[in-house]
Structure 1
């Protein structure tokens, strides 16, 4: 299968570029070569490749940066997605879109399911939800994957924290799942061989607070590091986080007969 990956040098895109290359013909592009805000450039590239499917991972994912740069966040995350979806519509190409649990907002204390109301409370969540809505308006053949905290990719924030000798500062104690890039890659490779299009959550089976997750990780790896808990109200220019952004992946598990790992299962394999 010919697969075009946007955001190929990003956190998710770089992992998928490597992990899917054994089975598929991968065309992976960084922003310099495939700027999703440049309609002419992406049109020319898609015309040359004519991929069987597009994995759209290009996005600004730094939540606080999005909050401070709202226009740029919308330009990349929303309008960039519109450009990709428009090309998929024009050439009848299925689309895989990586979204986020932050689209749900902050109105539940239990894990969200795909049919729950989406009412995001920060710019990142809003721009990703608008991207989802544009895809759903334009296309029928799409997979929207809502993920949680990715903790085991090449460039993920938690691994950078472990490499840094300074104490770990957590400015948000929201309850969340984690998502393993290995699991996400396997899931994508599974769903693109089907026509079970739609919206799917994908995360670990269970969930906990970020503080607890990081503590488990430190204990598992034998790191002697301190975690500083800072209430959000003490920090300026920070995006609001939901108290609970945990998601249920039961639909994914049942539809595609996949196993979901627990938090500890994923942490042990890091």
Structure 2
């Protein structure tokens, strides 16, 4: 059976990968408790002890705003560690699948970004992720770099959907940025794509790919959809109004791309199918989260 080493196993994507990858191989998941990605020797030791047939690097420093003031830590995890992982994969002659971000682009386009479009990140997080991509390309021939965007899932502690549900349960009115456009992406769909790629992997398909759910939305559109879908499921929410605001009205330490829609034509050709629409991904995620929340509440009452 294929041995699959997955980093970042405690994160929202890592948790999803544990489930989806089980049918295609033996998953060996490592997280912060097992491997310190700021220590190159620890990375090398783990990979050589596990002796995997493929590595999926789902670990990342994802604090977009904190990266502005914690650049050294972000670089260690997002830029240096992927390069070390790539070196070890090259030595073992195994493929590396690495998850990257839409934030490698500056957001000045008005049409979906293709894999070949020039990169030009506008924040520290995006710069470190781009450095990680370059390190992988320089150190491992058999790689797939998968750029994704606006990721959320049932797993993990915090994401946009969970934050909106929390705020929607506390407040009647929420203000949400309406002039940043992207494609919300459910971890279940992203993990599914990674799972499909592993048995398909051949040297000729190595390279950079985009994968997001299809369709586009602003953060405001996304928030409105979250509340609509949650209310249909029976979620107890106070929210009555979502107010659209501009980016300058919600200043953050890190700049965000105004437009970061990614073209998924290349990955769709490899997988033989186009990614599901973001609204469907959201509906599926909320249904699963609602079931978990409802069963948890009922078990506590019992």
Shorter-chain TM-score: which interval?
Answer: over 0.9
Aligned to 1:254, which of 246, 269, 273?
Answer: 269
**Counterpart Cα distance in 2 of 1:184 and 1:211:** 22
* 2:252 is equivalent to residue 242 of structure 1: no
1:169 to partner: Cα distance: 4.8
Aligned position for 1:184 = 190
1:161 to partner: Cα distance: 2.5
1:256 to partner: Cα distance: 1.8
Residue-by-residue CA offset, 1:5-37 (whole Å, 9 max, x unaligned): 111111211221232124320110111211122
Aligned position for 2:278 = 263
Taking structure 1 as reference, are residues 179 and 237 closer, same or farther at Cα in structure 2, changes over 3 Å only? closer
Given that residues 12 and 153 in structure 1 are in contact (C-alpha distance below 8 angstroms), is that contact kept between their aligned partners in structure 2? no
Cα RMSD after superposing both structures: 1.9
Aligned to 2:212, which of 203, 208, 213?
Answer: 203
TM-score (norm 2): 0.83
1:235 to partner: Cα distance: 5.0
* 2:128 is equivalent to residue 127 of structure 1: yes
As a proportion of its length, which structure holds more helix? 2
Secondary structure at 2:111 match in 1: coil
Given that residues 184 and 217 in structure 2 are in contact (C-alpha distance below 8 angstroms), is that contact kept between their aligned partners in structure 1? no
Given that residues 5 and 13 in structure 1 are in contact (C-alpha distance below 8 angstroms), is that contact kept between their aligned partners in structure 2? yes
Taking structure 1 as reference, are residues 236 and 244 closer, same or farther at Cα in structure 2, changes over 3 Å only? closer
For structure 1, the residue ranges without an aligned partner over 5 or more in a row are: none
TM-score (norm 1): 0.92
Secondary structure at 1:28 match in 2: strand
Residue-by-residue CA offset, 1:184-237 (whole Å, 9 max, x unaligned): 112111111121211111112210211111111211221442435554435555
Taking structure 1 as reference, are residues 172 and 129 closer, same or farther at Cα in structure 2, changes over 3 Å only? farther
1:152 to partner: Cα distance: 2.6
Residue-by-residue CA offset, 1:12-68 (whole Å, 9 max, x unaligned): 112212321243201101112111221222222222211001111111112111122
Residue-by-residue CA offset, 1:72-116 (whole Å, 9 max, x unaligned): 111211111122112112222210100011112222011111111
Given that residues 186 and 282 in structure 2 are in contact (C-alpha distance below 8 angstroms), is that contact kept between their aligned partners in structure 1? no
Residue-by-residue CA offset, 1:126-184 (whole Å, 9 max, x unaligned): 11011001111111100100011113341233123303433445357410001121211
Given that residues 148 and 178 in structure 1 are in contact (C-alpha distance below 8 angstroms), is that contact kept between their aligned partners in structure 2? yes
Larger Rg: 2
Q: How many residues align?
A: 270
